[in-house]
Amino acid sequence: MPGQPRLQRLRPGHAPALLAFERENRAWFAASVPDRGDDFFARFDERLGALLAEQEAGVCHFHVLTGAGGEVLGRVNLVDVEHGVADLGYRIAEHAAGRGLATRAVREVCALAARDYGLTALRAAATLENAASRAVLARTGFVRTGETRLDGRPGLTFRRELGDLCRPAVHAP
C-alpha cells in the first residue's frame, strides 16, 4: 500500500537517513534505553560499516522502517545470532510513536527471523520504565522470562518462540 512505512534490510544507502534518525531522537531514546554515547555519532560511518559486515556474516540482521520519503521512522535489529536464537532490539522515532509501527515492525521481523533467517526463538529486554516497549513485546507474543539491568536500570527479559511462524499459512476455501 503506497504511503505505508516499509521494513527494509539495512544497506549502505540508508546511512544519511539513519544518522539523522539517531541524532533527532537521541534524547527521546535516552529517556528509556541506554544512550549510544558521543562516540557512536563521531564514528557513525565506521560503525555502520562494521554492522553491515556483521550482517553479511549472518551474525546480525539489521532493519530500518522507512516512510514514503525514505526517512527512517524506526529500527528493528536481530543481534548476536547463535544456535537459532537472536536478541531483538527496536526503536521508533518520537514523532512516529503511538501509531502501532513498532508492533507491526516487530511482527514482521519475527516472521523474517523464522522464514528467512532460520531462527527458532528471539530474546528481548526492556526497562521497567519503558511500558510502551513492554506492551509491544506482549502484543507480539513475547513472554516474560526474568529480570535484568540495562545500563544500571531495572528491566525485564522476554522470549518469543518462532515455531508457529514456520508453518505454512492455511487458507480457507
154's grid cell:
531495572
Number of helices (H) and strands (E) in the chain: give both, helices first: 6, 7
pLDDT band with cut points at 50, 70 and 90 for residue 36 = confident
Average confidence (pLDDT) over 83-105 = 95
Give mean pLDDT, residues 94-120: 95
Q: Report d(CA 163, CA 171) in Å as an integer.
A: 19
- Within the chain, residue ranges assigned H as helices are 15-24, 26-30, 38-42, 44-56, 101-115, 131-139
What are the chain's domains?
A: 6-165 (3.40.630.30)
Q: Fill in the amino acid letter for 48.
A: L
CA angle 121, 125, 129 (to 5 degrees): 150
**How far is 103 from 138, CA to CA, in rounded Å?**
9
